[in-house]
Every structure is written in structure tokens, then in C-alpha cells.
Structure 1
């Protein structure tokens, strides 16, 4: 559910919606006589690009303090940081402006945008349904650093951020200071750092070398958590409510802004 090969399912959904939008605009213009040289499909792609830039800039502005602390993360569009409610109006206005002298392009391009948004909305609804059907935190069987069995048969009673990581994974290493800081910033949220496939000695040595301290470090020797939650890559960050139900997820390196958005949006009042 969370990924298709190396790609986040949310990236696939956006790509599919853009493809449908392009096909609709292209087919509608073909059905109309006396079409101009510039196609509605190419206008739609230009509008999509403009909308995506605006959506990204809007998101960055909303979480500016977090991005200012690490300016390079502004370019990390893999964090999924886009505000569609900013990008969509910009894309529509772009179409209206560019087609002001060529009205034949307007209807096909706008219908393409409408079709793409319908596909995107339907896919988001489907993903939400699938996410509700995803196994809860209780499905995990992990180990403590001392080799003891750790289970979650009883709800923790607090929201949980569960991070799947490994010491050999560069994106995991880059995002760990962000998670360590969040652990301090949100004492009402439990942060579980679940190592995938490594021995306790390796994990202890890595954390000591990096000067990182986490309250809850657990081991998953067979990487069963990745199979349980459908993750196809590391790092993966999962967000559970106080009842242990998955409410959000992020595959790949997470930025401070994306982490803060998920925690404040799903796990804190």
C-alpha cells in the first residue's frame, strides 16, 4: 500500500492524475475542428508545472522556520510537501491567462484539470480506506536491545511515531537528528526507532558514534515490520494514533517540515 517498487504510492497517484489530465485535454481537442498549433495538452502541462511550483512554495512558506534551519531540504520534494489548494487555483489561472487569445484551448485544458483532480481525489479516498485496513501497531513483534521480546498487544495509550531504519542507510542517517529533536519537542508522543536487520552491538556503536540518544530503540532482526506495513524501502516513518491505528506514513527521508505537519496534524490536539 505504501509503495510501488522504489516509488511512494502518493507519487504514483499524482503521476496517474497528470497522465489522465493530459489524455483528456488531448482527446477533447482532437474532437474539435480548427484546432490551433499549440495544443491544449501542452498548455495543460505548462499549467501543471506552474501549479506544482506554486504548491511547493506555499508549503515551504507555511513551514518556513523548519526549512530555514536546513535550506537544502526546500529542494527535497520527495517529502510530499505541496499545498494543492494553492497549486490548483494557480494552474487554472495560468490556463485562463495563456488561452485569453486562443479560446479553443481553454475548455479542453480546464476539462483535463478537472479530470485529473477527480482521479486524484478518488485515489486519495481509496488510499485512506486501505490505510484504515492496514495492520495496527499490535501486529508487531520486536526485540529490545537486550534481546527480550517486545509486543504491543495492549495500546501504549499515546500516539506513536515509528521509524524503520538501518545504520548503512544514508537517508536514515541524515534524518535521525530531526527525529531526535522531535522526541524532545513532543514529549506526549512516543518515538520508536526500529532497526531493520542489524545486531544490537552494531546499533549501539552507531548511535554512540553519532551522538544520538533515543528513549526507545528496538530491533527487528528479520525486517518483518517492512513486510507487515508494505514498505519497500528505508527509511520509512509510520504515524499511529493512541489506539495503535495507522493514520499517516512517509517513505524515504523525512524533512523537519513534513514530520511536524504529520505530528501536529494527526497526533497532537
Structure 2
């Protein structure tokens, strides 16, 4: 009987402690004012928030500029492609949907390379070996530029979470469409036509 009473008292004490902590946390969160977290410096500002370090990009935004070395050892800078439509694709050799869309991209490149620049950024930091990229491209003879994102800086700038992901960029350098997942020839043709 004594053990039962001690057990019940122990449960009551523990429940009381949990309830006390819950009430204290609620009081603290209610007493916090918006200006305690205001990063603008304006104490009258309302509705301010702290955003994550990574910025997301939307249709109509200027595509973030970057410069990377390509697989062929040339420098590619996105802003130098202004005046031309750009299909900016992010991919990796280990990604089956990426491998599925690459022949379609090559066919599109063969037909429209005078009007549209395909840039296929390899997420090199995610590859087992950098040599895998060269072997894969050579095996299938893809001719569009393959910049190597060795330090994931471009991946981060474009907030790439999954591959493939493609940004369609118009002649002024503005993002016109963001497409997650693989593309086919007709999709690219229609999307570029609407840019």
C-alpha cells in the first residue's frame, strides 16, 4: 500500500513539474514583444521577421550571377550570356531523372543553340568523384557547357534542394520559369517559346 501511495505522489509531482514548466514558457512567449527580434533598428516597425540565410528566387527576379569553370576548363559567367535565352539546369551523374532528360537537352541544343544557351551545372560536390562527370559526358557526347559547382556556391545561390531543377532565364537575365524534375524536348520548346 505504501508503495502505491509513493508511486501516485511521484506521478503527481512529475505532472506538476511539467505543468509548471509549460505555464512558465507560455508566460515568457506572451511577454516577448515584436521589437525584441526586430533587426531593422526601427523600434516602431511591426511584422518584421528574420529570414533564413538562403534567399529564394522567384519568377521575375534577376538570376543570380556566377562564374564557374566548365568541364572543358573554360570560364563560364552567366551574366555574359545576356541577350540570349538560357536554360540553366542543375544535375548530377547519380540522378536517374537527370540522365533521362540529358539526351532531350542535347537534341534541343542541336536544334536551337543559336537562340538558346543550355548550361548544365553539375553539382560536383555531391559526386563520388569529379572524374565521373567527365566520363559520363564523354560517354554520351553531350556538347552543351557543363560548369562544375565544386563548392556548392551556385547550388546555394539558387537554393537547389532536388535535382534536376531548371531555371529558364530570358534575354534580360530575368527568371521566367523554375521547373523541378526532368524535362523533355517539347516542354523545353514550349517554355522557351513563351519567354
Structures share fold, TM-score greater than 0.5: yes
Out of 237, 246, 258, which is 2:187 matched to? 258
For the residues of structure 1 that align with 2:131 and 2:168, how far apart are their CA atoms? Answer: 27
Partner of 1:143: 69
Q: How does 1:1-269 map to 2 (within 5 A)?
A: 130-133=58-61, 135-137=62-64, 139-147=65-73, 149-187=75-113, 188-197=115-124, 198=127, 200-209=130-139, 211-266=140-195
Cα 1:130–1:175 change in 2 (3 A) is closer
Contact 1:235 1:251 in 2 (8 A): yes
Aligned residues: CA RMSD: 2.2
TM-score of the pair, normalised by structure 2: 0.61
2 CA distance for matches of 1:141 and 1:250? 22
1:242 deviation in Å? 1.3
User: Which protein shows a greater Rg?
Assistant: 2
2:49 is matched with: none
Q: CA deviation at 1:204?
A: 1.4
Which structure 2 segments of 5+ residues have no match? 1-56
Shift, 1:155, TM fit: 4.2
Aligned residues: 135
Shift of 1:182: 0.5
Q: Which runs of 5+ in 1 are unaligned?
A: 1-128
| Whole-Å separation in 1 of the counterparts to 2:88 and 2:58 | 19
Q: 1:153 to 1:259 in 2, by over 3 A?
A: closer
Q: Deviations over 1:68-122 (max 9, x none)?
A: xxxxxxxxxxxxxxxxxxxxxxxxxxxxxxxxxxxxxxxxxxxxxxxxxxxxxxx
Instruction: Write the distance in 2 (CA, Å) between the matches of 1:242 and 1:231.
Output: 22
Closer, same or farther in 2 for the Cα pair 1:243/1:165, shift >3 Å?
same
Match of 1:97 in 2: none
Q: Identify if the C-alpha distance between structure 1 residues 154 and 255 changes in structure 2 by more than 3 Å, giving closer, same or farther.
A: closer
How does the TM-score come out when normalised to structure 1?
0.45
Distance 1:144 1:204 in 2: 10
**1:193 Cα deviation (Å)?**
1.4
